[in-house]
Structure 1
């Protein structure tokens, strides 16, 4: 076991809290002059790159989760170290004019590569301003000719944050240069417009494919339908299917996209109608068609009908695949019919339908809920032995983490992660952050937050929501408001419940300030009155 994991275990099991200051990564020689430059501008810089300006200032933290999962991002990679330096420039210059930020970047003397540029952009997925400033600075510098990958990355960031004015600027630059727009560009544009419910714009991107230098084909049409359905515009997708489908040839895959859209929307009535359309058409239902409809039935609690369709498939020699079997197992587990689920699990193996990680995850999820941990450990060992498509993944470990009741149980899950050489991601960071909040482990919360920033895996909207609500619960209203405004400054849209909470906190904060002012005024009057009395006594004496 690597020392870093052993250290983490020791801290938990022996309950030893060794406080130590966060050490920053070594600053490359090319960037040392940058710190001098910050001092020259009289702008305070953060001497510790692992710490941001926050209400947590002044605390030290023990060994953090991300350090114990150091497989996330190799710290010795030059591109990664330089990306951290650039990230810290944007932290220190957060409210500075663009020109000043560009001067700081110039003084850093970076040797730009595509890997470094992508690394920096991905660290700002949820913070479009630094990403866009950095992209423009790189474009203007002329040190490197940017390829499609970098352009697509910034388009995705701008689209995610709904900055479509800036997105169009970048797209115009791509088309002017020529040869940069590719299928990934098309996917990003259609996906982000559909996500923002800009349906007409998404369809327009499809219609203008030839202008962008791309073919107007069935695959592109299917991609458009998929994006529309993903963001609940199923009715529009179905209308397009019947109006334009004949131009490309209507096949089972295209029909399945719309069926899946109705099913994901939870509209079983429309899904059943469309299922009948598929059956009556020239398109023969395939495994995906069956699987999609069975999943819709199970989600609506119609397990009896789903089981009938499942059994009918075996009888018709239309052998269900692992996805359909997984759906049935998950539905049976949800209804607490776990013995039947285990029976289907046994049957599928016997009939040649081999389970995968999703099969095991469905069983583990529900067995964890009823605390059947012996069976969970047995299934985990089985997954480990089978390897391949059965190897535990982030979902497996997240189910295990969700059921932890106290910090001392965490090392066991970490050992399993290490054994599988599993890399921590943003969702798991948020889950661990939430656990530490529930356990009120402040030092671990600080450490996890800093590591998320360090590795470019957050913090995202979920991270901020967790922290804001925790700080409110602790009565630290000013700190909570600080994080709320920091989140807003990054262009993140708060959850409605967070908006309501912040409005209440703001009112309370104003009331407290007014009370303090009133008390201060009263104390000031008392103090001046007391002083006058003393002066009179002195004069009288």
Structure 2
């Protein structure tokens, strides 16, 4: 049966049917999605939805079976919290263009029994749509029989911080402060992460300073966390300045120095990394395995494999036994330089020394072996990973390399089934990778179904998903459909990639030109109208 996405806005009279609709979802071949294109004054054209045909029942079952946790998906409706979350999500989708008051009125009529699990489920499903998530959160936190715990507050802080809407984030934080006892270590971790990601340095430092105000100690671990988040988002110079200001307080801590060294290395600034490496040596702090590994990693990333190999061999000469992280750096660098036989030699040597490989070790080899199409060796290593299990068990990165190497659509379910057997969960990145594969193969049905499954799993669509779809629809000449999904994307508060913004402007220009062409009569139209006018005059005589 062909399936098309519907567009309608539910009235209040339909609210009483929502439970019945959700209950019947599993037996219907039509999706429980009611789309309506949000208005945008910057667009010249408001587009209709692109209709994805459905998969057959057999194909649907095969796809679901191939997803890790497929049994849980089939049990979804038996879980009260999941069932209620489905109903809430249905309301939020249908009232997307409505005011907050109308959404809250619709939610009031549901008679939901709220719990942290239910609220977290809904917030997770709307992690890329902060407006809906925030409206729902404000509704559940109004009081009554249910009072959200720290875990719920931390989740909405993370959603708002991820989308960089800090006024709303501060509003939630103020409410947590008033209620007392809600701020914990996770709260400060979320705040440091999101402020650093937005490059709001002063705010991140202020969060660290305010820990004492809420009865949480500003110890060495807390300071390390602050420096870690700053360095993660390339604010290394700020982090090192803070470290220098606190040297009297934390004089000989190698972990802090490792964080700064890693920051310079991740930034790709080998000159500063070398300077800081020498500072460590002169400070009297003895470098540990992590220090060596960080510096070796920086050298390999900048193509200085010779220097990295010398440092690696010198570690062995000095009695250090390089750990799996250091060996992985060397193996990956050798593979990148297409020196795969040498990489396999290091792989064998590390096992002989008792240094056990992990999934990252195998992933480095598999990644580069896939590139040169040594698929026999790839599947030999994959089988070895599956046999060893534990830290060697294939993960989403392993399967992403396998998916990227595929040449035929029929091979995708095989990889997904292998993921399920090894209990590797689907991720947003894997969904986007599958979406991109089906787009490249121009398989409309598979694209539509992947989109639906990603949405149901709460793993998207994110900015990457929309970018893939919009560009594909544009290439197919479906400009109106591409603009529909652009509308949906910006209604969720997502920021366009520069190339997508250029594309959207181009599509609007083309649509404008089409409309103008329709208004300008051609010579043939003029001739036809002139002839018709003459015939009318003759009749009137």
Aligned-residue offset at 1:535: 3.1
From 302, 319, 322, give the equivalent of 1:320: 322
User: Corresponding residue for 2:473?
Assistant: 471
From 366, 378, 385, give the equivalent of 1:383: 385
Structure 2: distance between partners of 1:179 and 1:380 = 48
Aligned-residue offset at 1:47: 7.6
> Which has the higher mean CA deviation after the structures are superposed, 54-63 or 116-125?
54-63
Aligned-residue offset at 1:524: 7.5
Q: How does 1:509-528 map to 2 (within 5 A)?
A: 509-519=511-521
Residues 522 and 142 from structure 1, CA distance in 2 versus in 1: closer, same or farther, beyond 3 angstroms?
farther
User: Corresponding residue for 1:49?
Assistant: 32
From 154, 157, 160, give the equivalent of 1:155: 157
Unaligned runs of 5+ in 1: 1-17, 24-30, 39-45
Deviations 1:360-380 (A, max 9, x none): 111000001100011111111
User: Corresponding residue for 2:501?
Assistant: 499
2:212 is paired with a residue whose SS is: coil
> Which has the higher mean CA deviation after the structures are superposed, 129-138 or 485-494?
485-494
From 334, 337, 351, give the equivalent of 1:335: 337
> Which has the higher mean CA deviation after the structures are superposed, 62-71 or 421-430?
62-71
1:255 is paired with a residue whose SS is: helix
Structure 2: distance between partners of 1:141 and 1:255 = 47
Structure 2: distance between partners of 1:523 and 1:419 = 66
User: Corresponding residue for 1:11?
Assistant: none
User: Corresponding residue for 1:71?
Assistant: 69
Residues 116 and 241 from structure 1, CA distance in 2 versus in 1: closer, same or farther, beyond 3 angstroms?
same
Contact 2:131 2:492 in 1 (8 A): yes
Contact 1:464 1:483 in 2 (8 A): yes
Deviations 1:227-251 (A, max 9, x none): 1101111000000001023224440
User: Corresponding residue for 2:403?
Assistant: 401
Aligned-residue offset at 1:56: 2.4
Alignment of 1:538 with 2:539, yes or no, is yes
Give the number of equivalent residue pairs: 508
Alignment of 1:107 with 2:101, yes or no, is no
Aligned-residue offset at 1:59: 3.1
1:152 is paired with a residue whose SS is: helix
More relative contact order in 1 or in 2 (CA 8 Å, sep 6+)?
Answer: 2
Residues 194 and 485 from structure 1, CA distance in 2 versus in 1: closer, same or farther, beyond 3 angstroms?
same
Aligned-residue offset at 1:309: 0.6
User: Corresponding residue for 2:179?
Assistant: 177
Residues 176 and 249 from structure 1, CA distance in 2 versus in 1: closer, same or farther, beyond 3 angstroms?
farther
Contact 1:217 1:248 in 2 (8 A): no
Contact 2:66 2:417 in 1 (8 A): no
Unaligned runs of 5+ in 2: 7-13, 22-28, 37-47
> How big is the alpha-carbon RMSD for the aligned residues of Structure 1 and Structure 2?
2.4
Structure 2: distance between partners of 1:399 and 1:315 = 35
User: Corresponding residue for 2:244?
Assistant: 242
Structure 1: distance between partners of 2:264 and 2:240 = 10
Structure 2: distance between partners of 1:447 and 1:484 = 19
Q: How does 1:134-533 map to 2 (within 5 A)?
A: 134-519=136-521, 529-533=530-534
Aligned-residue offset at 1:346: 0.4
Contact 1:34 1:107 in 2 (8 A): no
2:164 is paired with a residue whose SS is: coil
Contact 1:158 1:164 in 2 (8 A): yes
Residues 234 and 365 from structure 1, CA distance in 2 versus in 1: closer, same or farther, beyond 3 angstroms?
same
Deviations 1:438-461 (A, max 9, x none): 000001101111111111110000
Residues 529 and 92 from structure 1, CA distance in 2 versus in 1: closer, same or farther, beyond 3 angstroms?
farther
1:247 is paired with a residue whose SS is: coil
User: Corresponding residue for 1:6?
Assistant: none
1:140 is paired with a residue whose SS is: coil
Contact 2:65 2:417 in 1 (8 A): no
Structure 1: distance between partners of 2:402 and 2:209 = 47
Aligned-residue offset at 1:509: 1.6
Following TM superposition, where does structure 1 have runs of at least 4 consecutive aligned residues deviating by more than 4 angstroms?
Answer: 18-23, 50-54, 64-67, 521-531
1:246 is paired with a residue whose SS is: coil
